Structure 1
Amino acid sequence: MSATDVNSGEQSPSKLRTFLGDWRQNIIYIGFVVIFVVFALTLNDKGFLNPNNLLNIVRQTAMIAVMAIAMTFVLSAGEIDLSVGAVAGLASVTVALAISAAGPLAGVLAGIATGLAVGVFNGWLTTRIGIPSFLTTLAMMGIAKGIAMWVSDTAAVPILHQGFAWLFGGGAVGRIPVLLFWTLVLGVIGHVALKRTGFGRRVLATGGGETAARFSGIDTRSIKFRVLVLSSLAAALAGMLYAGRLQSGRFQLGEGDELSVIAAAVLGGTSLFGGKGTVIGTIVGAMMIGLINNGLILMGLEFSQQLIARGGIIILAVALSQKR
């Protein structure tokens, strides 16, 4: 056997491992295309490829994508935020109340203030008091929902200002919904911030090894505080988008979204254990969840069957993406 044959034999397993690694890393994109093609072939007669249906998928998943972009930073830093859905509902209510009292500018400021207040509280309890973010945000989930129910008296608060409703979710440029522009702009900002800035590198370093990051001079407590504030602000923005699209603030808006948000980030390639995250993958993960939901509804499955099928597909996608 020649040296060339030996070298070739030694290189083949390495090339195979590289190929498999790339395949697993890109499974979310492959899966998205496969699911889209399957639904396009099987549900074409039910209007799956109708432009209105495809745009509806964008509208239905935009808020999940907005929150999932920020969740990518939280998970990459080794933390988690379970309060995002409840904060979105609370922000929708405070925005609607502020608009009815003082106009749209006051509504926007109220939404930002809501997200900022919740984020600072979550971050302070987690980084200064030392309560794990899982428990902090789990408690905040109940607190935010309770406050939203209290201040709204459990009733929907209408938003009558058409300009606010158009800009925050209800409008469209031609046939393109404004929600798509929100998703794309925030996606670009998030991607650049995570991959091209010092802040993003510190986030990944903090999640990859907090002790090592601290010894290298990174203020890990500050990083974790900032990503939790960012997550709550994104949830508040999602609440404003919900409120604008539905022209009302309701405490139920965002209910249960935290699971879809985390699933979108993990599906996209962000690690639950920190140190790894990708905003582009997260957005594709959110769109994939919306795609699955839409396709299962068009199939005529009962809600219980949709939950089973959706859960199975997500588990399969995550399992295939794990490197062994």
Structure 2
Amino acid sequence: MQSRKNKTRAIQWDKYMVYIIFVVVFILFAIFLGGKGFLGASNLMNILRQTSMISVMAVAGVFVMAAGQIDLTVGAVAAMTAMLVSLILRSTNSIPLALIAGLGFGAAVGCVNGLLVTKLGLPAFLATMGMMQIVRGSAMWITDTAAVPIDNKAFNTVFGIGNVGPVPILIIWTVIFYIIGILIFNKTPFGRHTLATGGNEMSAKYSGINTVKVKVIAFTMSGAFAGIMYAARLQAGRYSYGDGDEMSVIAAVVLGGTSMSGGTGSVIGALFGSVLMGMINNALILAGLSTAQQTIVKGAIIILAVAISNVAQRKKIN
């Protein structure tokens, strides 16, 4: 009985780890970087705005990883989505058409990823790595690596550079996506089926859950809208957008309490994981670290995220 109580306490500790780390890191940065403007309202708002794309991708990332899968295409899909949106706006100036094309492309790539994993039995890591190269290469090819500017002010304002009062529109979109993600993950059968699929796929199948459908839907959700936000915020489409974002999304999701082996997940935790990484990036810049040093720290964060995930998983098994 005592052992079971100790295990429960350990699991609860792991569940709230990201919030504890977030508060500790924030306090440390406030103490050491407060004089450099870290606590300024404009700086804190800037952190939320800069992390919005990663945060939005992390919503779908929770579903993918909770189902026991991984998606490396999110950054490349964001780049290609931004490119398609830019090209369509330049040709037609139609916002609805651009949105349909961008979202449709992202959903199509996600669906293909899901089918490669479920129907052909490819490992998700390798399948999505291959698709990442195909999509990124296509984005480079269609414009010969040139940027495509967006002159549609309404599009740029609504999806990227606008504000609702003092709050940047990107933060509003992030909040909307997290409300939707939390409701789906915590309050719908699909959320429960996702956790069941990642926790024990064979048991989920015997329980009548269509695990193939769950995986395909999870992949299909991943990555599309962030490309629209990239395009609007930077007012252009470019093949290099989202480069490396897949690693940032994975780190944010895992730091937020989602196990890389599936079966557990937290959408709100992913938000804190994403903002935590953005806060660290911001602090490194304020501290005067070089780009190389920042890259080293980001790599260390990813290792930390995976280590935390593995430790938590072993505790739950034991």
TM-score normalised according to structure 1 size: 0.91
Give runs of aligned pairs for residues 1-324 of structure 1, distance below 5 A: 18-103=8-93, 104-231=95-222, 235-316=223-304, 319-320=307-308, 322-323=311-312, 324=315
CA-to-aligned-CA distance 1:137-194 (integer Å, 9 cap, x gap):
1011011011111112211101101110011121111221111111111111111111
CA-to-aligned-CA distance 1:25-48 (integer Å, 9 cap, x gap):
211001111111111111111111
Change (3 A) 1:280 1:106: same
Task: Please give the alpha-carbon distance, in whole angstroms, between the structure 2 residues aligned to 1:184 and 1:21.
Answer: 28
Q: Which moved more, 1:125-134 or 1:314-323?
A: 314-323
Q: In the alignment, is the contact (CA less than 8 A) between 1:86 and 1:145 conserved in 2?
A: yes
1:71 partner amino acid: G
Q: Could you say which residue in structure 2 is the equivalent of 1:3?
A: none
Change (3 A) 1:50 1:122: same
Question: How much does 1:22 deviate?
Answer: 2.5
Task: Please give the alpha-carbon distance, in whole angstroms, between the structure 2 residues aligned to 1:257 and 1:151.
Answer: 21
Task: Please give the alpha-carbon distance, in whole angstroms, between the structure 1 residues aligned to 2:308 and 2:240.
Answer: 34
SS of 1:129's equivalent in the other structure is coil
Q: Which moved more, 1:33-42 or 1:122-131?
A: 122-131
Question: How much does 1:227 deviate?
Answer: 0.7
SS of 2:119's equivalent in the other structure is helix
Q: In the alignment, is the contact (CA less than 8 A) between 2:251 and 2:301 conserved in 1?
A: no
CA-to-aligned-CA distance 1:106-148 (integer Å, 9 cap, x gap):
2111101211221222122222222222111101101101111
Q: In the alignment, is the contact (CA less than 8 A) between 1:115 and 1:229 conserved in 2?
A: yes
Any stretches of 5+ residues in structure 2 without a counterpart? none
CA-to-aligned-CA distance 1:257-293 (integer Å, 9 cap, x gap):
0000000000000010011111000010000000000
Aligned residues: 311
Change (3 A) 1:19 1:63: same
Change (3 A) 1:318 1:107: same
Q: In the alignment, is the contact (CA less than 8 A) between 1:206 and 1:213 conserved in 2?
A: yes
**Larger-Rg structure:** 1
Q: Which moved more, 1:272-281 or 1:108-117?
A: 108-117
Q: In the alignment, is the contact (CA less than 8 A) between 1:31 and 1:317 conserved in 2?
A: no
Percentage of matched positions with identical amino acids: 50
1:155 partner amino acid: A
Task: Please give the alpha-carbon distance, in whole angstroms, between the structure 2 residues aligned to 1:286 and 1:20.
Answer: 24
Q: In the alignment, is the contact (CA less than 8 A) between 1:43 and 1:299 conserved in 2?
A: yes
Question: How much does 1:79 deviate?
Answer: 1.0
Any stretches of 5+ residues in structure 1 without a counterpart? 1-9
Task: Please give the alpha-carbon distance, in whole angstroms, between the structure 2 residues aligned to 1:156 and 1:210.
Answer: 44
Change (3 A) 1:226 1:251: same
SS of 2:71's equivalent in the other structure is coil
Change (3 A) 1:124 1:318: closer
Question: How much does 1:318 deviate?
Answer: 5.3
Task: Please give the alpha-carbon distance, in whole angstroms, between the structure 2 residues aligned to 1:16 and 1:199.
Answer: 31
Question: How much does 1:320 deviate?
Answer: 5.0
Q: In the alignment, is the contact (CA less than 8 A) between 1:170 and 1:177 conserved in 2?
A: yes
